[in-house]
Amino acid sequence: MNSLEILPELISADQSVPRLGVLASGSGSNLEAIARAIENGQLSAKIALIIYNEPEAAVRQRAERFDIPAILINHRDYKSRQALDREIIKQLKAHKVDLVIMAGWMRIVTQVLIEAFPERILNIHPSLLPSFKGIHAIAQAFDYGVKITGCTVHLLSLEVDSGKILKQAAVPIFPEDTLEVLQKRIQVQEHLIYPQAIAEYLKERSAKGLGAQT
C-alpha cells in the first residue's frame, strides 16, 4: 500500500480538524513543539490525548500546561507488549484519534497497534535513517565519528526505526562537540521538522480527497 493512499478511517470525530494521539515516555519536548505549532496556526490539528508510560514523566506537566488530557498506561502493569498495545488502542479509539504521534515513546510496538492504525502512526528518530537505529542513535553517530547526523520523521513499521521516511534534517558534528551539545542541536531540529512533517502528511492526504469531514 502506498503510504499516502486514501484511508477512510482518517476522519476526525469533531468534523473540523484531525485529532492527534501522542505517545510519550519522557520530557515531552516534541509534544510541546507540536502543541505550539497548533497554537501558532502552523498545524491544523487538535491533540486529543497524551498517553505516557512512565509515572514520573515530565510530559504530564507539559500536558497540563496545554490543557490536554493525559493518561498513564504503565507498561509494567501488562504481561505482554500486545496487551499494552491493546489498552493503548482502547484509549486512542475512545478519544477518537485519527493519527498517532510517537514523541519519544520508548516502547517497541507490536503488529496489534500497527494494524489498528495502518499507515497512521508517525515517529521521530534522532539520526538520518537508515543509519544508526535504536535507542542510542546519537551516541552511536558521535562515537563512530561521522561528520553529519540529524533526525528523521517516518511512518512506523514493525521493524524498529524503519518505514517510509517523511522528512529529515541534517545536523553537523563539530570537533569540539560533546554528546550533550550534539543532542541539544538535534533536538532543535526535531522541534522544527516534526510539526512540519505532520502538517505535510495531513495536507497530502487531504489533497488525495481525505480530510476531517465525513
Provide the number of structural domains found in the chain: 1
- Judge whether 86 lies within some domain: yes
- Model pLDDT, residue 160: 86
Q: How many helices (H) and strands (E) does the chain have?
A: 6, 7
Other beta carbons within 10 angstroms of residue 141's beta carbon come to 24
Dihedral over Cα of 210, 11, 156, 189: its sign: positive
Q: Is residue 98 in some structural domain?
A: yes
134 is a domain residue = yes
Q: Which residues pair with 161 in a beta bridge?
A: none
Compute CA 134 distance to the chain's CA centroid, rounded to the nearest angstrom.
Answer: 15
CB 169 within 8 A of CB 188: no
The answer to whether position 12 is within a domain reads no
Q: What is the CATH number of the domain that holds 48?
A: 3.40.50.170
**Residue carrying the nine cell digits 546519537:** 138
Instruction: Name the 3-class secondary structure at 87.
Output: helix
Residue 176 CB partners (closer than 8 Å, separation 6+): none
What CA–CA distance (Å, rounded) separates 150 from 158? 22
- Which domain range does residue 75 map to? 19-207
Domain for residue 97, yes or no?
yes
Checking if the pLDDT of 213 tops 90, the result is no
Query: What span, in angstroms and rounded, lies between the C-alpha atoms of 103 and 22?
Result: 7
Kindly state whether residue 141 falls inside one of the protein's structural domains: yes
C-alpha to C-alpha distance for 71 and 83, rounded to whole angstroms: 16
- Residue 10 in any domain: the answer is no
Residue found under cell 542541536:
185
What pLDDT, in 10s, does the model give residues 10-68?
A: 433 445 789 999 999 999 999 999 999 999 999 999 999 999 999 999 999 999 999 99
Catalytic residue positions, numbered: 125
- Per-residue pLDDT, 204: 85
Strand-strand pairing, 19-24 and 99-102: parallel
Which pLDDT belongs to residue 20? 97
Question: When comparing pLDDT for 162 and 167, which is higher?
Answer: 167
